[in-house]
Structure 1
Amino acid sequence: MTLKLIYPALAQIFWSFVVLVIMFRRRKQAFANREVKLADIAVSTERYPDSARLAAANFSNQFETPVLFFALTLIAIHVGATGYVMAALAWAFVVTRVAHTLIHTGSNSLKHRALVFAAGIACLFCMWVGIVIAVV
């Protein structure tokens, strides 16, 4: 078994924890600044300030396209498609997820966010193509 694809998978998992901490800190700050009360968010989180809602939205994003990444990583390992190109694509995907978070929880520029998201999807598609080539 190769570790080339395990490292980016572990990095993506770590990044999900980082985003969770960002979300927690922003929500905590909202309470500390009295921008929100427990009763305000008992049914819905819509009353959190934008910065906390953006962090929460990004945390949810960590369970969307990364699911494809983890599936592709496991399949690649299983079929032996673990070369340097596949590893580079996996790392590139993780980099796009980090950049996506920084944009999403920072400027929230939809133009930049969409470009980074598209780059991540391209990485996933290329990983998929690499796996198909390996099994054909």
Structure 2
Amino acid sequence: MNPDLLLYPMFTHVLWVAFLYVLLTLVRAPAVWGFIKSKKESWAEVEPRISANLSNQFEWPLLFYVVCVLLVSQGSVVEPAQVWLAWVFVAGRLFHSFVQILTNNIRLRGLVFTINFLAVLAMWMIILWKRLLS
């Protein structure tokens, strides 16, 4: 497959991170601009979850971007599995955000993170395996 196909899941994740920044700004704006008088009126419960989730978007995803950039920069054909795993990773990041922001379900969040973790790890294993065989 064309390595440029990896740009689509990467860009989708970039758009998701941009959306989270906008969401965090909107949630914080009333308190910052003095539109609310007490914490009870604010988004006090959800704001830390959005902030934590936004921080999470710069941890494990870093390794996703590195493997994708390596694959794209090589310019050679990539395995269909790597493109599929990239989409699994991005879908998992979106689902992880929903779970982290909208619920307190730590078990489900851990399960979703494991799927993301394994998808990126598999992408790395495939690139390494191909390198060792060539």
Instruction: Tell me which interval the TM-score lies in, with the shorter structure as reference length.
Output: 0.7 to 0.9
Q: TM-score, normalised by structure 2?
A: 0.85
CA distance in structure 1 between the aligned counterparts of 2:118 and 2:69, rounded to whole angstroms = 18
Structure 2 partner of 1:122: 118
Is the Cα contact below 8 Å between 2:3 and 2:77 reproduced in 1? no
Q: Are residue 11 (structure 1) and residue 6 (structure 2) matched?
A: no
Is the Cα contact below 8 Å between 2:4 and 2:72 reproduced in 1? no
Runs (4+) off by over 4 Å: none
Residue 81 (structure 1) shift: 5.6
SS of corresponding position for 1:5:
helix
Cα distance 1:49–1:81, how it changes in 2: closer, same or farther (>3 A)?
A: farther
How many residue pairs get aligned? The number is 125
Is the Cα contact below 8 Å between 2:3 and 2:71 reproduced in 1? no
Q: TM-score, normalised by structure 1?
A: 0.84
Structure 2 partner of 1:65: 60
Give the percent of matched residue pairs that are identical in Structure 1 and Structure 2. 26
Cα distance 1:111–1:100, how it changes in 2: closer, same or farther (>3 A)?
A: same
Residue 22 (structure 1) shift: 1.5
Q: Are residue 97 (structure 1) and residue 93 (structure 2) matched?
A: yes
CA distance in structure 2 between the aligned counterparts of 1:103 and 1:30, rounded to whole angstroms = 25
